């Protein structure tokens, strides 16, 4: 059976993207697999499950409605707090027309954000208690 070991993003500024995603995920920079290849790879801390995230230069603009995107969970934090944290790191909210007016029973609400490169990603979790 195949296992996803890494997700790769095309970015226009590898260092900026790496700073954002390292802070967002709590990941650390991993030494390059091939010296001089230009890729920056971030990985979870030892003993913490997760998939590596790699960034390489791309001249293509970020897609408004990407076919593939990252889905994050707020973990133990309230969704609103996690979104505020990510926006504080440089993400921005994206108006998402496909958000369902009524979620399925038991489904977590989510927010669509764009990273510092404009790549869309979702954050799901429980909303702040009102």
What is the per-residue pLDDT across 61-112, written as a single tens digit (0 to 9) for each? 999 889 899 999 998 889 999 999 999 999 999 988 776 656 677 667 889 9
Q: Provide the whole-model pTM.
A: 0.87
Q: Integer distance in angstroms from the first to the last C-alpha of the chain?
A: 44
Task: Give yes or no: residues 93 and 130 share one domain.
Answer: yes
Task: Give yes or no: residues 66 and 55 share one domain.
Answer: no
Task: Give yes or no: residues 127 and 65 share one domain.
Answer: yes
Q: Check pLDDT > 70 for residue 11.
A: yes
From 60, 76, 107, the end of a domain falls on 60
The domain tally of the chain equals 2
Task: Show the domain range for 102.
Answer: 61-130
Task: Give yes or no: residues 39 and 82 share one domain.
Answer: no
* Spatial distance between the Cα atoms of 25 and 75, rounded to a whole number of angstroms: 11
CATH number (domain holding residue 38): 3.10.180.10
What integer pLDDT is reported at residue 75 of this predicted model?
84
- Find the mean pLDDT for residues 10-16: 95
């Amino acid at each position: 059976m195949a296992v996803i070991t890494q997700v790769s993003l095309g970015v226009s500024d590898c260092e900026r993207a790496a700073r954002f995603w390292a802070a967002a995920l709590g990941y650390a920079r991993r030494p390059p697999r091939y010296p001089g290849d230009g890729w920056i790879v971030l990985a979870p801390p030892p003993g913490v499950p997760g998939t590596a995230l790699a960034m390489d230069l791309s001249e293509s603009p970020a897609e408004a409605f990407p076919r593939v995107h990252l889905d994050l969970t707020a973990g133990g934090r309230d969704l609103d707090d996690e979104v505020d944290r990510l926006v504080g790191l440089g993400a921005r909210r994206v108006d998402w027309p496909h958000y369902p007016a009524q979620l399925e029973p038991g489904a977590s609400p989510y927010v669509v954000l764009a990273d510092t490169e404009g790549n869309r990603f979702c954050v799901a979790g429980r909303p702040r208690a009102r």
